Amino acid sequence: MREDAVEIAIQCLTFISEDMDRLGKFLALSGAGPEKIRESAQDLTFLGGVLDFMLSDETMLVEFAAWADMDPSAPAAARRFLPGSAPD
């Protein structure tokens, strides 16, 4: 399931990166610079943060789910398989 979680997080990152407003907000909150995103996308903790960012905004989450053609609950389910998630 971790591989699926990574794939969903990378899809979220792609979605975030396609909109300058979303990307700017993400960069400001994460502290990552645009040049570090590609490198950081290999870091499971960073990808967990991508999912946290997605889950923090219901409107964005619904837009992402439609864009990715997936159930809006998939990012939350995926979050459990990456470092930094709260224990059940």
pLDDT by residue, tens only, the chain of 88 residues: 889 999 999 999 999 999 999 999 999 988 877 778 888 888 999 999 999 999 999 999 999 999 999 999 999 999 999 998 665 5
Judge whether 88 lies within some domain. no
Give the tokens for residue 26: 């993400």
Total domains in the fold of the chain? 1
Judge whether 81 lies within some domain. no
Q: 12 is in which domain, residue-wise?
A: 2-75
CA pair distance 28, 5, nearest whole angstrom? 24
Q: Tens digits of per-residue pLDDT, 30-53? A: 887 777 888 888 899 999 999 999
Judge whether 86 lies within some domain. no
Judge whether 71 lies within some domain. yes
Judge whether 83 lies within some domain. no
What is this structure's pTM? Answer: 0.90
Judge whether 6 lies within some domain. yes
